Chains A and B, each alone.
Chain A
């Protein structure tokens, strides 16, 4: 599998579609499908040609294009949650532009159904291992402290898990947290969490569409190994002023969207802020009175529809978590993306994106500058600047060609600190690093027959790494010992900091197949290779905001991940039920683990503490979803394993990754009693993660300590986790001042008050005992085992949401 870059595939991609380029007798109908109420483009809406029994779907901007023989056709435009729209089109002597605004089905629903797709997409589309969750659904899932949360919601999907409550990020199909490419309007987000991992950074009122791709990843995506979480922001209501807001236990939020020029230009601005600190203020005294303790985010987007062929978007996100009093600590992401949608011809669609993304943190021992002579300040960041054009060429209804590329510049400041003692200032840390990732891809989605569709493509990526220092490090093997727990030491060598130190390049083939096996069922298969050039250095149970994103270097090779997945998809009862079974197998190369006693912070020689090996992950995912009726929801079950094999760890044998979960069961249900009341519930059962304990115990200067050998890995498991949450939503006709709509959401998280273990560890007891024998007269501190529950009780919450 490792060398699976079939030349034949490349040949196929390059030449096959070209043969069908010349189509003299054909004409094209193209345009945008939009929501008639707010003007948002509909993603994935179906455009079906009744006479030819063929069709297409809209892209992420709501654009579609169909090239058909001359003639008169009936187009049926449909998407879930919208009324069907039927349009006549005559293709006589010229291409036709047809923009359609469709009307929501059942306008009485409070939420606008912003993600729309065809009912049987899951069966019909060639893509597999893809989950789309509608914001409407996410908003009804009972949430921790009533805060609607996108990342927590996707953790209820098959193949997705976390190391535990409060842990930031998520694990997809046995991949680590850093193997997820989280895109917010095409800009990568490096830390998706507020408050460690309790809340995600996405403001639910500003999100239009969420898509998680776990397998069969199309060629246009690259850079991470396990998944793509593609989050698209709303464009803003192009028809009228709309205000959404909510008051919850943790956050309050507000979003304003309005047309700037009706149907031409609109904007959305959404903001959230937590107020734990405001609520806590009366209880804080002395030095703690000025404690800062909050997190906030601001999301904004404007779009301008210049003419039929040109639309520009500018969107940005800025969020930050701030803690501290005299000692300050803050971190956050900021992204800015500018996009230009251009329709070259009715068949060729271009989206070009330029983006900036930054993640940084700061620690400062002396926020108020009281002791400038004795201070400590530490910063770290990763910064991106990128340009990426993406073309879609709608050759004919049978072939849709996508191609494009990307230049992605990385500037890393892994850690830069200054410390002063008695006025004597010293700076230290790791030198800045730079890298440029170039990529180009081409892919084609092809309907071979009415039953068989293929999606195939290849991505080529190249990574140029430059160390911005006069020297670089080279690892060499010395053997594992207490002094060199990884078995490696490093040498310092001279470096030209203006020259690329190391280049990597990879071909990443992608392939998916769909074969219809019946009226409402299909079989799908896919293979993808992903190359990942940046890595999150994280050696803690849950990843911390301090974890550093590091470049591939001369010592750290890019991760390569191959995945094969097979699936069977079937819909029942006129698409009222969706079901699927998928299995996957992954091989991961150049995986990073950490030696015992690894020092990853502010350590320029941290590469000495890394250990490299391979991984494998495999699993079975069952998914059943009910889409229609008063009761909706899904059940997902995952049986999985994720392992590693690293020389020097676990005696060179396979061992479980620390995020391995054998069983994951999620049940999500929502019930609409009537127009006023609706209810939600979800249940989760998850096998505990592995951890390791010492083999024996000794005493040193009165302190009991665990004894173990170098490189021991997870020999014990944390007990299983299970939890039930419920919610009730009461809708009110009128919101504030007799206008708009509002709702109360009552929820209870962890209803049956279970103390779910996050981890188990040993810690010193508070009391000492007086030793005898060999420890005669010594005050001995013994250890005890402790189970930590991040959430140790049930948590009720009330949230008030309004819209007008």
Chain B
């Protein structure tokens, strides 16, 4: 809802009063180094990746420095250990399946990450949660798109898509919704779409519903063209990971008159030595994934969405 207010605010300012934003140089001294962890175990076939890097100065445009020579392993609740290796010395630690049937992630299992680097050991725990299937993707020719969909270099006309899926009954299922156009993920800060049960914010009331309209519509950050391949992916995430994404999104869009004070983005990677000053950032996640892809075909477009 806050984003809505901001939208109104910016609309208003743009229209009536000449507000402006200037990019400025800001020298921010770096006061601490954090271990940055980035990795999600999925129930999909293939290798699994965990990236380790060192934090850098705020606003730095350098490439992050890899953390190499760390010992990275994941243990599941059945006691099975998965070793992750950084074969290229790039900070990219991989687990490679021994065969095509060897799938690491399994719904209902709990995974514990352990990273040992420079004498410090960090741990993170995450449960791999269930995910519903996507029932359909429906699209129509949009004659009055929203300014967000057509801004910048985006197509000015085309198709708007909706996806339909139902949340499971039971409070607390969380999801991240990823959208790919012709195989390319919409990966910008404005494309973070997450759901708590079937709604956008953390509340008990969205349980068991069909994903609400703004979420269904969120798969059209821009208008699609004839023959575009639109793929929607539903990733289950834990509630804590939902909080992480919520805050990451808040921080990345925290601008304007109604900005909130910058706050910490949570992290589930904890130093096993509580007295150590060395801390981690980022997230170790686990996801089950379902997806559906359609190719835009004007003959299959609907006249109006069923809502």
Contacts and interface: CB of A to CB of B under 8 A. Distances in A.
A671 interface: no
The winner among A373, A696, A758, A771 for most chain B CB atoms within 10 A is A696
B144 A287 contact: yes
A599 B24 CA distance: 31
B260 A782 contact: no
Contacts of A363: 1, 4
B58 interface: yes
A543 B189 CA distance: 25
A470 to B, nearest CB: 16
Contacts of B257: 166-167, 196, 540-542, 758, 788, 790
A694 B55 CA distance: 11
B187 A781 contact: yes
A379 to B, nearest CB: 13
Contacts of A694: 28, 58, 262
6 contacts: A286-B144, A426-B209, A545-B5, A658-B261, A692-B261, A698-B64
Nearest to A707: B281
B58 A693 contact: yes
A692 B64 contact: no
Contacts of A708: 262-264
Given A700-B248, A761-B259, A329 B15 contact: no
B20 A755 contact: yes
Given A597-B247, A697-B57, A706-B58, 4 more contacts: A482-B264, A599-B201, A755-B20, A788-B20
Nearest to B167: A421
Contact of B5 (A544, A763, A779, A792): A544
A606 B258 CA distance: 19
B104 interface: no
Q: Taking chain B's interface residues, is the majority helix, strand, or loop, or is none over half, making it mixed?
A: loop
Nearest to A776: B90
Given A167-B257, A428-B205, A795-B17, A698 B281 contact: yes
Contact of B36 (A196, A378, A597, A698): A698
Interface string B178-222: 000000000111000000001101111110011111100000000
Q: What range describes how many residues of B lie at the interface?
A: 35 or more
Contact of A700 (B17, B283, B307): B283
A421 B211 contact: yes
Interface in A745-786: 755, 758-764, 766, 768-769, 771-776, 779, 781-786
Interface in B18-54: 18-26, 28, 30-34, 36, 38, 51-53
A198 B12 CA distance: 11
Contact of B58 (A541, A696, A774): A696
Contacts of B187: 701-703, 768, 779, 781
Contacts of A545: 5
B15 A703 contact: no
Interface stretch (A15-23, A96-104, A229-237, A709-717): A709-717
Nearest to A370: B307
A697 B261 contact: no
A482 B268 contact: yes
B16 interface: yes
A323 B23 CA distance: 30
A596 interface: yes
Nearest to A769: B61
Interface in A514-543: 539-542
A720 to B, nearest CB: 15
A795 to B, nearest CB: 7
Given A378-B1, A703-B248, A774 B92 contact: yes
A172 to B, nearest CB: 21
A787 B24 contact: yes
Interface string B282-297: 1100000000000000
Given A755-B22, A791-B19, A774 B91 contact: yes
Interface of B: 1-2, 4-5, 8-9, 12-13, 15-26, 28, 30-34, 36, 38, 51-53, 55-61, 63-67, 90-92, 143-144, 146, 152, 187-189, 198-199, 201-206, 209-214, 240, 243, 246-248, 250-268, 279, 281-283, 307
A787 B25 CA distance: 10
Contacts of A596: 247, 263-264
Contacts of B204: 428
B3 to A, nearest CB: 12
Contacts of B19: 788-792
Interface string A135-151: 00000000000000000
B55 A790 contact: no
A782 B251 contact: no
Contact of A775 (B64, B144, B198, B266): B64
A198 B9 CA distance: 12
A601 interface: yes
Contact of A710 (B206, B261, B264, B307): B264
A344 interface: no
A276 B16 contact: yes
Given A544-B258, A782-B61, A792-B18, A773 B12 contact: no
Nearest to A714: B261
Contact of A703 (B24, B30, B189, B203): B189
B261 A705 contact: no
Contacts of A700: 36, 38, 248, 282-283
B252 A703 contact: yes
B145 to A, nearest CB: 8
Contact of B26 (A427, A760, A788): A760
Interface in A425-447: 426-428
Contact of A785 (B24, B32, B250): B24
Contacts of B5: 329, 544-546
A804 B5 CA distance: 41
Closest 8 A-B residue pairs measured CB to CB?
Answer: A792-B20, A698-B36, A482-B266, A774-B91, A596-B263, A785-B26, A696-B55, A286-B144
A713 B261 contact: yes
B203 A693 contact: no
The winner among A327, A691, A699 for most chain B CB atoms within 10 A is A699
A773 B90 contact: yes
Contact of B66 (A167, A250, A276, A773): A773
B215 to A, nearest CB: 9
B55 A785 contact: no
A483 B67 CA distance: 27
Nearest to A250: B16
B268 A785 contact: no
Given A546-B5, A707-B265, A787-B24, A597 B246 contact: yes
A790 B14 CA distance: 10
A64 to B, nearest CB: 46
Interface in A373-429: 373-374, 376, 378, 419, 421-422, 424, 426-428
Contacts of A699: 36, 38, 53, 64
Contacts of B260: 539-541
Contact of A705 (B4, B252, B259): B252
B66 A705 contact: no
Contacts of B15: 276, 280, 293
Contacts of B9: 196
Contacts of B256: 759, 788
The winner among B53, B56, B203, B267 for most chain A CB atoms within 10 A is B203
Contact of B210 (A422, A594, A692, A695): A422
A371 interface: yes
A789 to B, nearest CB: 5
Contacts of B211: 421
A696 B262 CA distance: 13
Contact of B51 (A167, A280, A763, A774): A774
Nearest to A779: B187
Contact of B203 (A428, A783, A784): A428
A546 B58 contact: no
Given A703-B189, A764-B252, A791-B19, A774 B66 contact: yes
Interface string A553-565: 0000000000000
